[in-house]
Structure 1
Amino acid sequence: MITTRDPARPGRLLRTERQTLLPLLRDTPLERFELPTACPDWTVRELLAHCGAALMRIVEGRLPGFTPEHNAADVAERADWPVWRILDELESGMAEAGPAIEAADGALDVIALGEWVHAGDVREALGVPGAYESLGMEDALALLATVSRERLTPRVCAVTPCGDWVMGNVVDGRAAAELSCDEGTLIRMYTGRPVRPERYRLAGAVREELVIYR
């Protein structure tokens, strides 16, 4: 199906992630926050600092502010924060950023999706099964469908166990690509995370064309 934008979806996805991720993190031993993640050079702690900072930029209206330089500065600013303070900021951002994202008329939807994907990065670093298949998956996939069009990826008809999704845009002279995989693999492919080749079948496109974050 071709998904249209639901203005309430990004905020709902963030609030859902807040309910699932934060309890896990508050029960995680401190030493595990130093584990590496799929994001180069960032530990779990640093990735969470980035996530909380990005959301608070939205809440406080400090935009634009999502360049690599801004992100690095935000993480450095929080280098001396205790973990509980990083988690408190992240929880507040997930609870409060929804209205501002909704008011941005789609311009910030990709940030909400990125927060959900980063939560998957954290779960994977911590060894949690189904890292990119948490509660909120349907909203995440619907956001991915709209963002994939905004990021000018080619048209892909994706078949997953829980439904079919139409990603990207029609390209003149080119038939839609066909992708068969599970939902977590679909998220991984479009966000540039590692994927085992046996987890998907893709015809009519190459993986590199699908990535929305570059």
Structure 2
Amino acid sequence: MTSTDVTDVSDVRDPELPGRLLRTERDALIPLLRARPDGDFAARTACPGWTVRDVLAHCGAALTRVVESRFEKGVFRPEANDRDIAERDDWPTERVVDELERGMTEAGPVIAKAGGILDMVALGEWVHAGDVREAFGEPGAYAGEGLPHALALLARITREKGHVPLHADLDDLDEPLRLGAVSGTRPPARYIGDAPTLVRLYAGRPLVGTRYELVGAREAELNIFGG
């Protein structure tokens, strides 16, 4: 990642960005999954109660809903996510991975046409890929080739949501990454540290072993995915 990768984040939505993020992550994650024995998919993840297989089943189901435009009432709520996972309990692992690969390939154009309402699905899928890598003990769980796309998407989503304003001084960027919405009533908080740890903060993931400074905001205020 270079200083030009994320510092030119625009206020104008790039409809192709979520798809690029998904395809970039597909190319990194799917070969890793296909190389793993079935037993590895029983590993626990940072998502309470979910194994690696559960996370992948949830991700594949969510993207299938996007591709097929199936958004019934309550979709993506915890109880609906659990039902999606349960429906795939008797699937072989290969089928779970196949569905995920298809979703990561085909969801981009649908998300692009949705006007922004589905952009956060792509970011959530990328974060879940990090959950899987971390459960496998892979290095750089919330990093990799997709990180610049994820940061750009995170910056725009937090602005559009009117989230806590924050200037992130990232270790390998020359200029701060600006997140959230400046309201004039609250000065921007400041983060100093690396980009993967910033992702952990916004995704509500464990911070054990990380090093960073956060001034002007509480950790819990940054979580964009809920409690």
TM-score, normalising length: structure 1: 0.96
Match of 2:215 in 1: 203
Displacement of 1:3: 3.4
CA contact (8 A) 1:191 1:212 kept: yes
**1:51-62 equivalences in 2 (<5 Å):** 51-62=59-70
User: 1:136 is matched with which residue: 146, 156, 178?
Assistant: 146
Q: Secondary structure at the match of 1:199?
A: coil
Query: CA-atom RMSD, angstroms?
Result: 1.3
Match of 1:123 in 2: 133
Displacement of 1:197: 7.2
Displacement of 1:135: 1.2
Alpha-carbon distance between aligned partners in 1 of 2:39 and 2:205, rounded to the nearest angstrom: 24
Q: Secondary structure at the match of 2:213?
A: strand
Q: Deviation string for 1:15-57 (max 9, x for gaps)?
A: 1111000000000111010000000111000110000000000
Displacement of 1:67: 1.4
Match of 2:26 in 1: 18
CA contact (8 A) 1:158 1:167 kept: yes
Q: In structure 1, what residue type is equivalent to 2:71?
A: L
Match of 2:157 in 1: 147
Residue 196 (structure 2) pairs with residue 184 (structure 1) = yes
Displacement of 1:70: 1.5
Displacement of 1:162: 2.9
Moved >4 Å (runs of 4+): none
Displacement of 1:199: 1.2
User: 1:77 is matched with which residue: 76, 80, 87?
Assistant: 87
Residue 214 (structure 2) pairs with residue 170 (structure 1) = no
Alpha-carbon distance between aligned partners in 2 of 1:99 and 1:136, rounded to the nearest angstrom: 18
Q: What is the identity percentage for the equivalent residue pairs of Structure 1 and Structure 2?
A: 54
Q: Deviation string for 1:54-108 (max 9, x for gaps)?
A: 0000000101521112111110100100000000000000000000000011100
1-10 or 178-187, which moves further after superposition?
1-10
C-alpha distance 84-198 of structure 1, shift in aligned 2 (>3 A): closer
167-176 or 75-84, which moves further after superposition?
167-176
CA contact (8 A) 2:197 2:210 kept: no
CA contact (8 A) 1:151 1:212 kept: no
User: 2:123 is matched with which residue: 113, 132, 135?
Assistant: 113
Alpha-carbon distance between aligned partners in 1 of 2:53 and 2:126, rounded to the nearest angstrom: 16
**1:96-111 equivalences in 2 (<5 Å):** 96-111=106-121
Alpha-carbon distance between aligned partners in 2 of 1:63 and 1:153, rounded to the nearest angstrom: 25
Match of 1:161 in 2: 171
179-188 or 164-173, which moves further after superposition?
164-173
Alpha-carbon distance between aligned partners in 1 of 2:88 and 2:159, rounded to the nearest angstrom: 34
C-alpha distance 36-198 of structure 1, shift in aligned 2 (>3 A): closer
TM-score, normalising length: structure 2: 0.91
Query: Unaligned stretches of 5+ in structure 2?
Result: 1-6
Match of 2:17 in 1: 9
Q: Secondary structure at the match of 1:66?
A: coil
Query: Unaligned stretches of 5+ in structure 1?
Result: none
